Structure 1
Amino acid sequence: MTTPTEPPVPPGRPTTARPGRKLGPIIENVGSAHRAWLDPMRGTYLASGLTLTELSARVRFAKSKISELLRGVGLYPRWEIVCLLAVELDMPNWPLYRLWRQAAFEAHKSSEWVDNCTDRTPILTTTHTAPPLEHRAFRELAENDYTLFAQTFLDDAQRDTAVSDTFDILWLTWNDALASHDTRRFAWNVLRTTVMARTPHRDGRPELGVAAFDTVALRALTDPADRINQVAESLELFTAMSRLPPSQLDVMVLRQLCGFTPETVSALLGASLAAVRSAERHASRFLESVLCPPPTTEGNTP
């Protein structure tokens, strides 16, 4: 495990006041891929101190249209206007483009439509192509561990996309990550949100993926009958685990399925060692009560 045990020192971030009408919220039907880049863009705009009128004058785009874009209203936006806003807001356009492109396909836009948008914006690859040094270092330290967590819920392609998206979102929000109480906790929340947005759910609970069956207990068995019995036990365990609160589920996945030590889990989550041990203790008691309930005693019939 190589995740940093101490987060970077957060810089100060000034608060800004903005005259005029307040920007409305993102509409409810915006998809998770669209929201992945829209949330950071909104956050950057709100922290910039610019008004919609000022932003409109700079990008020469109608104020009402910018407001709609920042709320996810209407048709999926073309890259030209997204890129213009990114330049004015001093956002790195390379991770923004990757997230925008992915969301475009999920919005059922064709490759021709996406390529046409990009061809009109040659600035794409000329600026902001390298993430901050601290971000690169954090990714090198955490990426493998994030991948192990993601693969317990997702197939290989979805796993890699979720982890890549996580670090793109972190690149867009790196100042917020540094200014947060704990950068590791901020990053973990981004990872978890991204993974869970792609994870199949049943009755509102996340389902553990096929890779979750590649456990230490299962790999140690060679007899086919023993392996079948272990799979049945694992299915029962995974169903029970899905009922855990998010913090306890994370700890149990990292401890029991990924095989990390409590100290490693503490560093990954940005949580105290005591909190990790407490979460594991409560989760274990719940799982035991579900999987091994005490026998019921029947009264004697007269």
Structure 2
Amino acid sequence: MTTPTEPPVPPGRPAPTRPGRKLGPVADNVGSVHRAWLDPMRTAYQASGLTLNELSSRVRFAKSKISELLRGVGLYPRWEIVYRLADELGMPNWPLYRLWSQAALETHKSSDWINGCTDRTTLTATHTNPPLEHRAFRELVENDYTLYAQVFLDDDQRDNAIDATFNRLWLSWNEALADHDTRRYAWNVLRETVMARAPHRDGRPELGNAAFDTVILQNLTDPAAYANELTETLELFTAISRLPDRQLDVIVLRRLCGFSHGAASALLGTSLATIRSDERHATRFLDSVIPPPRTEGTTP
């Protein structure tokens, strides 16, 4: 993987101050897919300098309704209000619509309900292209992101997670460019999106499905050898899942995806020294919990 060219960092500006009560936090029961579009909308609102009263008068929705939407309180919002808020806040509506509709399905809204929210021409999301820099970045990293995601997710979930990652990045692209390292910002979005969909046990992501895709297992035909190798592989993957987040990512990229140190460094937006240090610490932990295989003639 080629190290991406560092994008220009626009000068930072303090967020405008506004009178009145501050926007409350997102409700605890809001899911990660819902937050994928809600968090960028909250950021756009906070950067706009508008008060809820001003926003209410512009979009012609009650202030209480807008406040509920921006906190994820109450019923899942219809597309009309989301669309009008996005239009007023200058957000691209196509990636927003894709994330909104995906979250609607996950809140058990039917396709008929979704289509019923968007059957008016004036409220239809316009299929537009993302910024050129976003498209170039996606072309550069999408295959690598897919390799990482498929360690934790099945094919359908993997594709949905990758699509959601780049839609979310599109919504927050200005923030990504303004970050100290756009690659690290984007990786954090990918990781959060994948981990929200991955099965977990005891608070840690499971890698069990990836064990069945290892090259060694695919090449074994003897049932006894396969069972023995599978047991050892599952033990290893369980140990990998217990690693701290950063070490986990490095080991997944290095051992399961086959990335070089340089490629992992470029993908994570992390120095080579950090990658090597994380790998050493992770390897030391894995060696401490996975005993080396016994050779014939040795006693337990």
Give the TM-score category using the shorter length: over 0.9
Q: Secondary structure at the match of 1:21?
A: coil
- 1:250 is matched by which residue type in structure 2? D
- 1:232 is matched by which residue type in structure 2? T
- Residue number in structure 2 paired with 1:299: none
Aligned-pair Cα RMSD in Å: 1.7
Residues 280 and 254 from structure 1, CA distance in 2 versus in 1: closer, same or farther, beyond 3 angstroms?
same
Residues 290 and 209 from structure 1, CA distance in 2 versus in 1: closer, same or farther, beyond 3 angstroms?
closer
Q: Distance in 1 between matches of 2:212 and 2:10?
A: 42
- Residue number in structure 2 paired with 1:256: 255
Q: Distance in 2 between matches of 1:94 and 1:153?
A: 27
Q: Distance in 2 between matches of 1:283 and 1:165?
A: 30
Match status 1:30 vs 2:38: no
Q: Secondary structure at the match of 2:136?
A: helix
Q: Distance in 2 between matches of 1:115 and 1:268?
A: 38
- 2:204 is matched by which residue type in structure 1? R
Q: TM-score, normalised by structure 1?
A: 0.93
Q: TM-score, normalised by structure 2?
A: 0.93
List per-residue Cα deviations over 1:273-294 (Å, max 9, x = no partner).
Answer: 000000000000000000128x
Q: Distance in 1 between matches of 2:50 and 2:278?
A: 43
Match status 1:242 vs 2:261: no
Equivalent positions of 1:184-199 (< 5 A) are 184-199=183-198
- Residue number in structure 2 paired with 1:211: 210
List per-residue Cα deviations over 1:194-245 (Å, max 9, x = no partner).
Answer: 0000011111111014234322443454544433322111100011111100
The answer (yes or no) to whether the contact 2:169–2:176 under 8 Å persists in 1 is yes
- Residue number in structure 2 paired with 1:165: 164
The answer (yes or no) to whether the contact 1:207–1:239 under 8 Å persists in 2 is yes
Match status 1:117 vs 2:117: yes
The answer (yes or no) to whether the contact 1:80–1:120 under 8 Å persists in 2 is no
Q: Distance in 1 between matches of 2:228 and 2:262?
A: 32
List per-residue Cα deviations over 1:157-200 (Å, max 9, x = no partner).
Answer: 00000010000000000000000010000000000000000011
Q: Distance in 1 between matches of 2:33 and 2:79?
A: 15
- 1:142 is matched by which residue type in structure 2? V
List per-residue Cα deviations over 1:90-130 (Å, max 9, x = no partner).
Answer: 1010000000001111111111111010112534344x711
Residues 88 and 212 from structure 1, CA distance in 2 versus in 1: closer, same or farther, beyond 3 angstroms?
farther
Equivalent positions of 1:1-302 (< 5 A) are 1-2=1-2, 4-15=3-14, 16-126=16-126, 129-219=128-218, 221=220, 223-292=222-291
- 2:108 is matched by which residue type in structure 1? H
Q: Distance in 2 between matches of 1:107 and 1:163?
A: 20
Residues 141 and 212 from structure 1, CA distance in 2 versus in 1: closer, same or farther, beyond 3 angstroms?
farther
- 2:252 is matched by which residue type in structure 1? V
The answer (yes or no) to whether the contact 1:212–1:257 under 8 Å persists in 2 is no
Q: Distance in 2 between matches of 1:221 and 1:7?
A: 44
Q: Secondary structure at the match of 1:119?
A: coil
The answer (yes or no) to whether the contact 1:155–1:211 under 8 Å persists in 2 is no
The answer (yes or no) to whether the contact 1:154–1:209 under 8 Å persists in 2 is no
The answer (yes or no) to whether the contact 2:211–2:230 under 8 Å persists in 1 is no
Q: Distance in 2 between matches of 1:87 and 1:12?
A: 25
Q: Distance in 2 between matches of 1:217 and 1:264?
A: 24
Give aligned pairs, total. 292
- Residue number in structure 2 paired with 1:300: none
- Is 217-226 or 205-214 further displaced after alignment? 217-226
- Structure 2: runs of 5 or more not aligned: 295-300
Q: Distance in 2 between matches of 1:239 and 1:264?
A: 25
Q: Deviation at 1:150?
A: 0.3
- 1:270 is matched by which residue type in structure 2? G
- Residue number in structure 2 paired with 1:298: none
Q: Percent identity?
A: 72
The answer (yes or no) to whether the contact 1:83–1:93 under 8 Å persists in 2 is yes
Q: Distance in 2 between matches of 1:50 and 1:103?
A: 26
Q: Distance in 1 between matches of 2:208 and 2:270?
A: 25
Q: Distance in 2 between matches of 1:281 and 1:5?
A: 26
